Amino acid sequence: MTRFDSIIWFVIPLCLCVALPALAETSFPPPGWVEQPDPLASPHAVRGGVLRFMSFQPPKSLNYYVDNSTYTRQMFELMYETLLDADSITYEFTPWLARRWRISDDNLTYTFELDPAAKWSDGKPILAEDVKWTFDQIMNPKHAAGAMAAWLSIFESVEVLDERTVRFHAKNAHWRNLVAAGSIYIMPKHAFEGQDFNRLDFDHIVVSGPYTFSGGQEQVDTRLTRRWDWWATDRPAARNKMNFNTLIFRYYSDRITGFEAFKKGIVDIYPVYSARVWARETFGEKFDKNWLVKRSISNYNPAGFQGYAMNMRRPPFDDLRVRQAIAHLVDRETINRTMMYNAFFLHRSYYEDLYDAANPCTNVFFTFDIEKAKDLLREAGYVLNTQTGILEKEGKPLTFRMLTRDAHSEMPLALVNMAFKEVGIDMKIVRKDWAAWMRDMDEFNFDMTTAAWSGTLFRDAETMWHSAEADRQSGNNITGFKNARVDDLIERQKTIFSLAERNAICREIDAIITAEVPYVLLWNRSETRFLHWDKFGMPPTVLSKFGDERSLLGYWWYDPDTAAELKAAISTGGMMPPRPVTVDFDTIFNAIQ
Euclidean distance between CA atoms 86 and 161, whole angstroms: 25
Euclidean distance between CA atoms 65 and 200, whole angstroms: 11
Give the pLDDT of residue 22: 54
Contact (CB, 8 A) for 550 and 510: no
**Whole-number Cα distances in Å, 522 to 55, 94, 454:** 22, 37, 14
Boundary residue ending a domain (202, 236, 270)? 236
Question: Is residue 12 one of the residues assigned to a domain?
Answer: no
Question: Is residue 497 one of the residues assigned to a domain?
Answer: yes
The verdict on 378 and 506 lying in the same domain is yes
Q: Name 159's Cβ contacts closer than 8 Å, sequence gap at least 6.
A: 132, 166, 167, 168, 169
The verdict on 283 and 213 lying in the same domain is no
The verdict on 191 and 224 lying in the same domain is yes
Q: Which domain holds residue 276?
A: 252-300+528-592
Question: Is residue 485 one of the residues assigned to a domain?
Answer: yes
Per the document, the length of the chain is: 593
The verdict on 317 and 385 lying in the same domain is yes
The verdict on 495 and 586 lying in the same domain is no
Give the pLDDT of residue 159: 98
Contact (CB, 8 A) for 291 and 75: no
Give the pLDDT of residue 41: 97
Region label for 478, one of left (φ > 0), alpha (ψ between -120 and 50) or beta (otherwise): alpha
Buried b or exposed e, range 57-69, using 16+ CB within 10 angstroms: bbbbbbbbbbbbb
CATH number at residue 230: 3.40.190.10
Please count the structural domains in the chain.
Answer: 3
Euclidean distance between CA atoms 107 and 45, whole angstroms: 41
Euclidean distance between CA atoms 538 and 290, whole angstroms: 16
The verdict on 569 and 476 lying in the same domain is no
Among candidate residues 378, 367, 351, 397, the one with its CA nearest the CA of residue 504: 351
pLDDT tens digits, the chain, 593 residues: what are they? 333 332 222 222 223 233 334 569 999 999 999 999 999 999 999 999 999 999 887 888 899 999 888 889 999 999 999 999 999 999 999 999 999 999 999 999 999 999 999 999 999 999 999 999 999 999 999 999 989 999 999 999 999 999 999 999 999 999 999 999 999 999 999 999 999 999 998 888 999 999 999 998 888 999 999 999 999 999 999 999 999 999 999 999 888 899 999 999 999 999 999 899 999 999 999 999 999 999 999 999 999 999 999 999 999 999 999 999 999 999 999 999 999 999 999 999 999 999 999 999 999 999 999 999 999 999 999 999 999 999 999 999 999 999 998 887 888 999 999 999 999 999 999 999 888 888 899 899 999 999 999 888 888 999 999 999 999 988 899 999 999 999 999 999 999 999 999 999 999 999 999 999 999 999 999 999 999 999 999 999 999 999 999 999 999 999 999 999 999 999 999 999 999 999 999 999 999 88
CATH number at residue 354: 3.10.105.10
Region label for 304, one of left (φ > 0), alpha (ψ between -120 and 50) or beta (otherwise): beta
The verdict on 381 and 269 lying in the same domain is no
Question: Is residue 43 one of the residues assigned to a domain?
Answer: no
Euclidean distance between CA atoms 422 and 370, whole angstroms: 8
Whole-model pTM? Answer: 0.90
The verdict on 285 and 335 lying in the same domain is no
Boundary residue ending a domain (210, 236, 262)? 236
Q: Checking DSSP bridges between strand 448-453 and strand 399-404, what pairing results, if any?
A: parallel
The verdict on 468 and 577 lying in the same domain is no
The verdict on 344 and 484 lying in the same domain is yes
Question: Is residue 194 one of the residues assigned to a domain?
Answer: yes
The verdict on 432 and 465 lying in the same domain is yes
Region label for 9, one of left (φ > 0), alpha (ψ between -120 and 50) or beta (otherwise): beta
Give the pLDDT of residue 3: 35
The verdict on 344 and 199 lying in the same domain is no
Question: Is residue 316 one of the residues assigned to a domain?
Answer: yes
Question: Is residue 221 one of the residues assigned to a domain?
Answer: yes
Contact (CB, 8 A) for 350 and 521: yes
Boundary residue ending a domain (495, 524, 553)? 524
Question: Is residue 449 one of the residues assigned to a domain?
Answer: yes
